[in-house]
Each structure stands twice: as C-alpha cells, then as structure tokens.
Amino acid sequence: MKYLYLVLLLNGLAAIAQNNVRITYSITPTGGSLEKNQDVVKSKVANSFVGIDDALTRLSYMLIVKDQKSHFYLESMLDFNEKPARLARAFAGNAEFFKDEQRKTIIKKVDFSNEIFYVKLDSVAQWELLNEQKIINGYTCFKATREKLLRLKQSNPLHIVEAWYCPAIPVRNGPKEFGDLPGLILELQDDKITYLASKIELNNNLKVTLKEVNHKIISENEFYKIIKLTDANTAATVK
C-alpha cells in the first residue's frame, strides 16, 4: 500500500475549502486479482489477461479542485500500445468528470464508439453516513454508502458504493462523480475499481488549471438512447 503524502501549507484548515487542491488516486480491482479470477481462468481469453494486474497498479487518477470546480481524469505514464495497459485502461475506465459545486452539476466526458460525448449526470441518491470508522494511512475516516444505478446491467442493476471520508480534510470531493461528504474521500469502492488517495496537495501556492467544458452537453437519457442504437457488446465498454 502506498503511503499517503499530505502537504499542508496553509495557516488554517478553514481555508482549505477555497484552496487549490490536487489529489492522486491509485487503484486496485474491487473484487481482487483479475488474472486469478476463476471466471477468467476458466475462459478462453485467460491469456489476454496476463499482465493486467500489474498494469492496473500502475494506473493513477488525478482530482484537481479549484474553488468550487473540479476535474477528475486518468493520468498515467503507461504505454498504451502494450496490450495489458490497454486492457487495464478499458477495465478501469478513462472517462473524465467535471463538477461545479455552485451549479450542482456533474458533467461526464465519455469516449464511446469513436466519438466524444459530454453527459450531464442525473441527480444521485443521498449518502447514508454510518457509525463505522477505520484508519487509512494514519487518518481517521468514516464510512458512507449509497446506491448507484448501473443502467447497462440487466440483472441486479443497483450497486452499493462504499466511501471512506476524512473530516480532518474538509474537501467535499472524491473520485469520479462522487463527493458531497463532510470530508475528502480517501477510499472509494465502486463496482469494479477501488480508489485510494496516495498523494494530497493542499497549498496556497499550488498552481492548477481546470479545463472548461465548452462543448454540447446532452442528458443521461439522450446518451443511453444513443447506446441502445449500438451493438450490445460495444455498449458494455462504456465506463
């Protein structure tokens, strides 16, 4: 497990919420090793998964927060010309997320069927704050859960997302579309991937640049109508 490096160069924690923040997340498969997964081992494509576990550990994601806006995206030095790296990226996903806390909007940038879509996500279920806690890299974190609808999954489409947030770091954000908890999400278990904060930079002098979404934005319903017009196998690649 990577150690969590926290750089606090502020006069007080109260200023963090308005500060520039940069968080790096490492990832692991939520269900454990893919190469040792029995369904994979017994399949005809088992050889295609050789090296994916190592490739996944070398993927990293970045969350940039500036004032009330944020950008979450894949940042990796992997050579995606290599098959394990391409497979790892396909499994973990390379969608980008743009949040605007003031406007209460989340825009997801999706690469689907060789075309880029900017999708405004629907309102999500509220978190359930639980009285469970654990230490993550020296920080006391509390557990929260909420339901997530996996619209492309035909059976059991409701999935429980598990988040561990740290009130000592009052940044209401986290990986992907997740956030809006009373503290930074240090660990998040989604349906396929678990994200763990490996480096956090909170610094008045930190220079960060946020991309602006200056593209046509469509609704989730519009996006899934487009998906239904495509081959089911292609649709299954959407993250």
Q: pLDDT for 142-199, tens place per residue?
A: 999 999 888 666 667 788 999 999 999 999 999 999 999 999 999 999 988 999 999 9
Closest CA to 151 of 72, 206, 224: 224
Backbone CA torsion sign across 207, 137, 145, 58: positive
pLDDT at residue 4 is higher than 60: no
The pLDDT value recorded for residue 166 is: 96
Average pLDDT, the chain: 84
Backbone CA torsion sign across 169, 171, 176, 178: positive
The pLDDT value recorded for residue 165 is: 98
pLDDT at residue 13 is higher than 50: no
Tokens of 14: 């109260």
Contact 110, 117 (CB under 8 A): yes
- Give the 3-state secondary structure of the chain: CCCCEEEEECCCHHHHHHCCEEEEEEEEECCCCCCCCHHHHCCCCHHHHCCHHHHHHCCEEEEEEECCEEEEEECCCCCCCCHHHHHHHHHHCCCEEEEECCCCEEEEEEEECCEEEEEECCCCCCCEEEEEEEEECCEEEEEEEEEEECCCCCCCCEEEEEEEEECCCCCCECCCCCECCCCEEEEEECCCEEEEEEEEEEECCCCCCCCCCCCCEEEHHHHHHHHHCCCHHHHCCCC
The pLDDT value recorded for residue 153 is: 66
Q: pLDDT for 17-66, tens place per residue?
A: 446 889 999 999 998 888 888 877 888 777 878 888 888 988 999 999 98
* Whole-number Å distance between alpha carbons of 199 and 5: 5
- Calculate the alpha carbon distances from 123 to 33, 95, 106, 149, 219 in Å: 33, 18, 9, 11, 11
Residue 232 binned pLDDT confidence (cut-offs 50, 70, 90): low
